[in-house]
Amino acid sequence: MPVQYRGILEEHHAVREALGVFDISHMGQFLVQGDAAREWLDGLLTNNLARLGAGECQYTFLLNEGGGVIDDLIVYRIGEAKWLLVVNAAKIEEDFAWLQRHLPAAAGEIACVNESAEHAGFAVQGPRAAQLFDAFFEGRYSRPARNEILRIEIDGLPFHIARTGYTGEDGFEVFCPAERAVKSWQDILARGAEFGIQPCGLGARDTLRLEMCYPLNGSDLGTDTSPLEAGLSIFVDLQKGEFIGKSALLEQKQHGVKRRLVPFKMTGASPPPRPHYAIYKAGDKITEATSGTLSPTLKTGIGMAYVPAAMARIGEEFEMEIRGARYPIRIEKKPLHHPKQANAAVAQTAGL
Amino acid sequence: MNVPDDLLYAASHEWLRADGTVGISDHAQHELTDVVYVELPKAGTEVQAGEQICVVESVKAASDIYSPVTGRVVTVNEALTTNPALLNTDPYGEGWIFKLELAAEAGTANLKSPEDYRAQIAGL
């Protein structure tokens, strides 16, 4: 995916107001099958797979023993005993090696295959996504509900279409065989033209997700941060059985986390905040931004940072250092932007 | 990309007009993407050719702007403070950044002709 096609601002507004499509073919796909697969995955992932019916999905974390985030991912139950894991591109090898290493000795009944190279993917996002779906399939299929996945065939090829995304808007993520990538991309753009579709790049993907306070692994999440510190405990089921990282999280919960990931806004005129800019409180450097950008929707600088738990209150003020000058920032409630459409319930489930 | 014939160019993508006006090239504004913030230099600043003098920020990143020649800043384009997008929409006109009074040894001879600059960006 390029940084931009016609411009980050134009692409961002297209997704917020009409429709955009992102090429997410770089993301990884693992297929896990077998009667024992659910139990095995539930021992590796934080959310509870027992809650998923066939055709449903959930956001979840793969943790190390210390409760740190190796990756955040979506697990789709695409059959009774068949699971599709969609993981971050930069983590494909590491995640897959981790899964392989933790396969049970008698792994005969569990097949775990890295199919990343065989799949292309497209995220069609925006308030007009449902209209495009209906126009595209001319009523042959009903739209999957939020966090559901539909499997269909087009010209004899398997397509998975999920009602998921990373923008806060309504939308679909489509996975198809890699050899069909170019045609699918062209078909989506052609059919989406009447709905104002724009091809969108990584730049808009970052501004859109940050307005929603969705974390980016490697920036806002990492092996030295836990989902509890990141404020994502609703995707962690501490009531279910054992999983890797659980004991560390239980200890954090018992003693209270020392820091929390919070969203902030610049409160006055300033240059845009960027990752790693230093944040000060009462003259002392206390942390740095993990993410930062100019919000095209809010027209102000926004970002996220880990701050000491005692300071993690909405309205708390800090200063950010940018090229030697200090600018005021303030902790805000997440998300920083509320999508317009009624469908915003959506944002809460995938909602991070 | 538009490369006007009446300007000289730095390899770092700034342009210089005969009257000392400095801006960034059409190619540069396109690479930067949407400009959302310009940190202007202060009038009176003495600057060497090739020295970092101000910062232009797009949604994507902050980029340093270098003075193409040696001189003293005499005026800056305050319009960019409220409308930084002028750098994208009119990089050779209303999107100018500052104006220099050139030093005696300004280093103008080290700048590229429009032909040489076109060749540089064609090779990218």
What integer pLDDT is reported at residue A322 of this predicted model?
Answer: 97
Nearby residues of A39 by Cβ (< 8 Å), 6 or more positions away: none
Take residue A169 and report the two structure tokens written for it: 């808007």
ipTM of the complex in this document: 0.85
Contact B36 A207 (CB under 8 A): no
Contact B34 A323 (CB under 8 A): no
| pLDDT category of residue A22 using cuts at 50, 70 and 90 | very high
Is position A231 within any domain? no
Q: What are the CB-based long-range contacts (under 8 Å, 24+) for A265-268? A: A265/A298, A265/A300, A265/A301, A265/A302, A265/A329, A265/A330, A265/A332, A265/A336, A266/A300, A266/A301, A266/A302, A266/A320, A266/A327, A266/A328, A266/A329, A267/A317, A267/A328, A267/A329, A267/A330, A268/A327, A268/A328
What mean pLDDT comes out for the span A293-297?
96
Please name the residue ranges forming H helices in chain A: 8-17, 37-42, 92-101, 129-137, 181-192, 202-211, 246-255, 345-349
What mean pLDDT comes out for the span B31-57?
95
Residues of A with CB under 8 A from a CB of B: 3-4, 7-10, 203, 207, 271-272, 274, 293-294, 296, 323
Is position A350 within any domain? no
Evaluate if residue A349 carries a pLDDT over 80.
no
Is position A279 within any domain? no
Contact B62 A294 (CB under 8 A): no
What mean pLDDT comes out for the span B114-124?
92
What mean pLDDT comes out for the span A329-343?
87
Is position A95 within any domain? yes
Contact A272 B62 (CB under 8 A): yes
Count of other CB atoms within 10 angstroms of residue A239 = 6
Is position A1 within any domain? no
What integer pLDDT is reported at residue A348 of this predicted model?
Answer: 42
Please indicate if any CB of chain A lies within 8 Å of the CB of B30: no
Q: Could you give the percent of chain A with pLDDT greater than 70?
A: 96
Rounded to an integer, what distance in angstroms lies between the CA atom of residue A215 and that of residue A93?
21
What integer pLDDT is reported at residue A105 of this predicted model?
Answer: 78
Is position A341 within any domain? no
Contact B36 A272 (CB under 8 A): yes
Is position A33 within any domain? yes
Q: Which domains are seen in chain B, by residue range?
A: 8-122 (2.40.50.100)
Closest to A310 in 3D by CA, of A337, A288, A295, A331: A331
Is position A290 within any domain? no
Q: Are A85 and A73 in contact (CB under 8 A)?
A: yes
Evaluate if residue A107 carries a pLDDT over 90.
no
Contact A274 B39 (CB under 8 A): no
| pLDDT category of residue A346 using cuts at 50, 70 and 90 | very low
Question: Which residues constitute the domain of residue A129?
Answer: 8-209
| Predicted confidence (pLDDT) per residue in A167-202, tens digit | 999 999 999 999 999 999 999 999 999 999 999 999
Please indicate if any CB of chain A lies within 8 Å of the CB of B57: yes
Residues in chain A closer than 8 A to B60 (CB atoms):
3-4, 8, 203
Nearby residues of A77 by Cβ (< 8 Å), 6 or more positions away: A49, A52, A53, A54, A55, A56, A57, A83
The DSSP element (H or E) to which A81 belongs, if any, is: none
CATH, residue A202: 3.30.1360.120
HEC readout, A283-323: CEEEEEEEEEEEECCCCEEEEEEEEEHHHCCCCCEEEEEEC
| pLDDT category of residue B10 using cuts at 50, 70 and 90 | very high
Going by their DSSP bridges, the two strands A19-23 and A197-200 should be labelled as parallel
| Predicted confidence (pLDDT) per residue in A131-164, tens digit | 999 999 999 999 999 999 999 999 999 999 999 9
Taking the CA of residue B56 and the nearest CA in chain A, the distance in Å comes to: 9
Taking the CA of residue A267 and the nearest CA in chain B, the distance in Å comes to: 16
Closest to A26 in 3D by CA, of A205, A225, A193: A205
Q: How many structural domains does chain A have?
A: 1
Nearest chain B residue to A5 by CA distance is B33
